[in-house]
Amino acid sequence: MPPAVAVVSAAAAAVGSAVAAVASFTIGGIAVGSIALQIGASLALSAIAQRLNRPSRPKQKDIKRELAQIQSRPPKRFVYGRDKVPGSPAVLRVKGRNLYMCLILNSRPSEGGDVTIYFDERSSDIEAGDLYDFSGPGARLKIDGYRRHNNNPGMPHAWLGRGDQVGPPDEILAAMPEEFNSTDGWRGLTVLWLRLNAGGQERRFDRWPRTPPAVEVEADYSLIWDPRDPAQDPDDPETWVWSNNQALCLLDAILNNPIRKRQRFLVDMPAFVAGADLADEPVARFYAGGTVPRYTANGVLLWSASELMDQITPLADAGAGDLVQIGGQISYVPPVSRAPSYTITDFLEDGGFDFTRLVPGSDLPTAIRASYIAPDRGWQESELPALAVGAGSAQLADEGILDLPLAFVTEATQAMRIQKITRNRIAAQRQLSLTLPPDAIDLTPGSVAGWGIAELPKCSGNWRVVSISPSAWLQGNGVALRCPVVLAEEPPNVDAWNPELDEFQLATEDFTPPAPVRVPPDDLAATTGPGVASGTTPRIRFSFAPVGGNVIGYEWQWRAAGDEYAEGGSISDSVRDAGGRVFGFLVPVVPGTEYQIQVRTIYLGAVSDFTDVVITAQGPDFALDPPGDGQAIGGAGEIEVSFLTPNNTAFEAIEFWGSDTDDVGAAMLLETVASAANTVRTIVETDLGDAETRFYFARSRGPFGSVSAFSPSVSATTDPPPEPEPEPE
């Protein structure tokens, strides 16, 4: 098994030299750095080991939730690296059945790269077209798992402007010239234009559960300057390229933030260049195999009126590094093991000597627990197992664990390495404050000093400079310097990493975010018949218990047996009967026909499964009277039958039935005759035999197949056969 090693690379060596001041002149024979930068306080601004005293910062999920809100002035944001970002609506317009949207994704130009657009958490693919062609129809999008969007003219169309667009897409400009000008391009910003078909009212909740839909775009975002590339001009953003190098993203935020941009001469460029080289170095992964860059940054900076250093510190955290101020200059010190650049062999006794061996137990966490953003888990925050600060038990109480949110880290092993570096720094508890002689002027925050005073063995080892405040004071006829410093114990091999021993094995199964609980309506029931009919119109009434909670309403569909479902519409959750049940009607229906009704719950942005009920429709009770005054008259091979229709307003027709016996159960329907009420109706049954007796019944018919009881029977007999003619004599 290979031993754990401290990785000291060429980049690390460069970092060591970058944080040491360059001698430019001498005072009294002592090499001194630039007076403009060295005289005055220099201190670490964002040492990650000092997180105990930091205020909490918004999490990425909270930032993205704010970006998705409809606001009159969308907030300014810089998106670094690759991320899944919600769009801030800048334009929402409806014309006909189309919704036109322009969403701000990044407050600066972006690369684009491999782009995926999400609608209400549903990913989409480009079915056809060019996402970047504003002169054409854009990209036609196919939304995964939703057939009604796909393969029809109503498919969403999208155009992505990477910052070089000069106006809206030509198609949108032509469709809505009254709303947009050709110069409404949001040039310099990354924007997504969409044309969405709302669909019919009956399918709108299914197509767009949330209105407007929540749109997120996964892409490669900000173009940034890399001072290592001579082809890139720091004053010409068009020469910049995409990168998620952590040190370069941090440098970009310092130089280009909209709050207080730092001029380049106030930034320690060699330190950031050395940090960028270190961030690019490949690091092996034990379980997943292969290598990854040492430090990347992927995420959103939402600019506000807060202190600039507080806002950019999460970018420094992504490299476990320290932002430091050296006089008037800002520098960066990544966490690498470095040899001491200065050895303490003496100190000024009149400046005091303050040594602390142990941090109070109440101020020292028992463990460090890092969290990072996991793209393979839906870009959700994911926690690593806690790493004990000391050699204590693995059973750790939550109140003793220091949470280490790494908002810009999207790779698990990078988070693991930062977690261990932080643990190493916090576990090294010794602190020291004293005043060094003038030859310590070259020390800067982040520099490492060795201990060379054998008489004080308790201070042996290496020390990291937290702050130094060189000051000039008169002594006789000359000038001398004294250097008060604050030192923290620098653990040996602070960034040592052995993948086989130090890497956690994390679950690698495919992640599907748990679906929120969406409750379908309960106790769905249906009734029909005379008590439900509306006048002469038969209906089916259905009802169910309200679901409760954050419910918008309900959607229902129906079908007759063997048919396809048809849309019934939507029902508000407030439509309740006297028993508190939500209800609706299917009307009209055909009595005797079987119907199936299904209902589901509508939530904001989602719907539940359907629940259904089956019922056979019945008509209203019309209380029809049977026909009366029946008469039957026999003739030659035929019988004439007549009845008087009843005087009912619902009467529509009369049925004539005939039988060879006086039994209505054996009768057959002879004819149905439409008729007015209170009218004599007559039929003639023909093709009968001689002397044949027949019995007749009648009943009334009303709307929707309603019928009366049968009338009493009447009968008649056909004429007997004629007597034969006498034979001639």
216 and 258 in a single domain? The answer is no
Of 222-231, 594-603, 700-709, 714-723, the range with the highest mean pLDDT is 222-231
Token pair of 350 as six digits: 């009149």
Instruction: Decide if 702 is inside a domain.
Output: yes
pLDDT for the residue 51: 52
Answer yes or no: is pLDDT of 148 > 60: no
DSSP 296: B
Q: Report how many domains make up the chain.
A: 4
Of 227-236, 528-537, 635-644, the range with the lowest mean pLDDT is: 528-537
Strand partners, 17: none
- Residue among 616, 697, 698 nearest 651 (CA): 698
- Residue among 256, 216, 259 nearest 240 (CA): 256
Of the pLDDT bands very low, low, confident and very high (cuts 50, 70, 90), residue 399 is: low
606 and 646 in a single domain? The answer is no
How many other β-carbons are positioned within 10 Å of the β-carbon of residue 582? 23
215 and 256 in a single domain? The answer is no
Supply the angle between the helices 308-317 and 246-256 in degrees, to the nearest 10.
170
pTM of the full predicted structure? 0.69
| pLDDT mean over 194-209 | 68
- Which three-class secondary structure state does DSSP give residue 530? coil
Instruction: Decide if 162 is inside a domain.
Output: yes
332 and 398 in a single domain? The answer is yes
Q: How far apart are CA 191 and CA 88, in angstroms?
A: 9
Higher pLDDT, 13 or 272: 272
207 and 340 in a single domain? The answer is no
Answer yes or no: is pLDDT of 19 > 90: no
Q: In percent, how much of the chain has pLDDT > 70?
A: 84
| pLDDT mean over 423-432 | 89
Answer yes or no: is pLDDT of 456 > 80: yes
Answer yes or no: is pLDDT of 77 > 90: yes
pLDDT for the residue 427: 86
pLDDT for the residue 359: 72
Radius of gyration of the chain (CA): 43
| pLDDT mean over 140-148 | 70
Kindly report, residue by residue over 662-694, the tens digit of the pLDDT.
999 999 999 999 999 999 999 999 999 999 999
- Which three-class secondary structure state does DSSP give residue 343? strand
Longest Cα–Cα distance in the chain: 185
- Can you count the helices (H) and strands (E) in the chain? 10, 45
415 and 275 in a single domain? The answer is yes
| pLDDT mean over 710-725 | 91
Q: Which residue has the tokens 């410093």?
A: 485
259 and 215 in a single domain? The answer is no
pLDDT for the residue 401: 85
Task: Tell whether the torsion through CA atoms of 377, 381, 387 and 392 is positive or negative.
Answer: negative
pLDDT for the residue 170: 93
701 and 609 in a single domain? The answer is no
Strand order in the sheet with 653-659: 668-674, 653-659, 693-701, 714-717
For 721, counting Cβ atoms within 10 Å of its Cβ (0-12 exposed, 13-18 middle, 19+ buried), the class is exposed
pLDDT for the residue 46: 65
End residue of a domain, out of 616, 646, 662: 616
Q: How far apart are CA 432 and CA 412, in angstroms?
A: 35
Of the pLDDT bands very low, low, confident and very high (cuts 50, 70, 90), residue 201 is: low
Contact 48/322 with Cβ under 8 angstroms?
yes
Answer yes or no: is pLDDT of 50 > 60: no
Higher pLDDT, 147 or 377: 377
Contact 444/485 with Cβ under 8 angstroms?
no
608 and 639 in a single domain? The answer is no
Instruction: Decide if 65 is inside a domain.
Output: no
Instruction: Decide if 4 is inside a domain.
Output: no
443 and 495 in a single domain? The answer is yes
Of 10-19, 77-86, 576-585, the range with the lowest mean pLDDT is: 10-19
Contact 306/76 with Cβ under 8 angstroms?
no
- Residue among 195, 242, 285 nearest 81 (CA): 242
Instruction: Decide if 725 is inside a domain.
Output: no
Contact 231/194 with Cβ under 8 angstroms?
no
Token pair of 170 as six digits: 């030509």
pLDDT for the residue 150: 47
Answer yes or no: is pLDDT of 306 > 80: no
| pLDDT mean over 690-701 | 95
Q: How far apart are CA 320 and CA 418, in angstroms?
A: 6
DSSP 81: S
Phi, psi for 218 (deg, rounded to 5): -95, 125
Q: How far apart are CA 6 and CA 448, in angstroms?
A: 16
Token pair of 372 as six digits: 């990072």
Q: How far apart are CA 318 and CA 337, in angstroms?
A: 18
With left for phi above 0 and alpha for psi between -120 and 50, is residue 135 left, alpha or beta? alpha
Contact 563/549 with Cβ under 8 angstroms?
no
Range of the domain at 704: 628-717
- Residue among 699, 639, 638, 704 nearest 673 (CA): 699
Higher pLDDT, 229 or 212: 229
- Which three-class secondary structure state does DSSP give residue 627? coil
Q: How far apart are CA 504 and CA 498, in angstroms?
A: 11
Long-range contacts of 549-553 (CB under 8 A, 24+ apart): 549/519, 550/603, 550/604, 551/601, 551/602, 551/603, 552/602, 552/603, 552/604, 553/602
DSSP 252: H
CA 44 to chain centre: 37
DSSP 149: G
pLDDT for the residue 191: 96
Task: Tell whether the torsion through CA atoms of 524, 530, 531 and 536 is positive or negative.
Answer: positive
How many other β-carbons are positioned within 10 Å of the β-carbon of residue 307? 12
Q: How far apart are CA 162 and CA 595, in angstroms?
A: 54
End residue of a domain, out of 474, 502, 530: 502
| pLDDT mean over 683-711 | 91
How many other β-carbons are positioned within 10 Å of the β-carbon of residue 198? 17
Answer yes or no: is pLDDT of 18 > 50: no
How many other β-carbons are positioned within 10 Å of the β-carbon of residue 632? 20
Answer yes or no: is pLDDT of 15 > 50: no
| pLDDT mean over 612-618 | 92
Q: What is the CATH number of the domain that holds 528?
A: 2.60.40.10
Strand partners, 707: 701
Answer yes or no: is pLDDT of 643 > 90: yes
pLDDT for the residue 21: 35
| pLDDT mean over 197-202 | 63
- Which three-class secondary structure state does DSSP give residue 545? strand
Average pLDDT of the chain to the nearest whole number? 84
Answer yes or no: is pLDDT of 153 > 70: no
Kindly report, residue by residue over 154-180, the tens digit of the pLDDT.
678 999 999 999 999 999 999 888 888
Sequence-ordered list of residues with C-beta below 8 angstroms from that of 640, at least 6 positions apart, any chain: 632, 633, 682, 683, 684, 716
Of 262-266, 372-376, 481-485, 635-639, the range with the lowest mean pLDDT is: 481-485
Contact 303/77 with Cβ under 8 angstroms?
yes
Instruction: Decide if 75 is inside a domain.
Output: no
| pLDDT mean over 199-225 | 78
Instruction: Decide if 290 is inside a domain.
Output: yes
Answer yes or no: is pLDDT of 54 > 90: no
Kindly report, residue by residue over 331-364, the tens digit of the pLDDT.
999 888 889 999 999 998 888 899 988 877 666 7
316 and 435 in a single domain? The answer is yes
Strands (E), 82-213: 82-86, 88-95, 98-106, 110-119, 122-129, 139-143, 157-161, 190-197
Instruction: Decide if 693 is inside a domain.
Output: yes
How many other β-carbons are positioned within 10 Å of the β-carbon of residue 531? 10
- Residue among 91, 90, 143 nearest 116 (CA): 143
Residue 268's alpha-carbon distances to 153, 329, 401, 670, in angstroms, are: 56, 6, 35, 108
Angle at 420 between CA 416 and CA 421, to 5 degrees: 115
Of the pLDDT bands very low, low, confident and very high (cuts 50, 70, 90), residue 196 is: confident
331 and 421 in a single domain? The answer is yes
pLDDT for the residue 395: 45
pLDDT for the residue 26: 33
pLDDT for the residue 186: 87
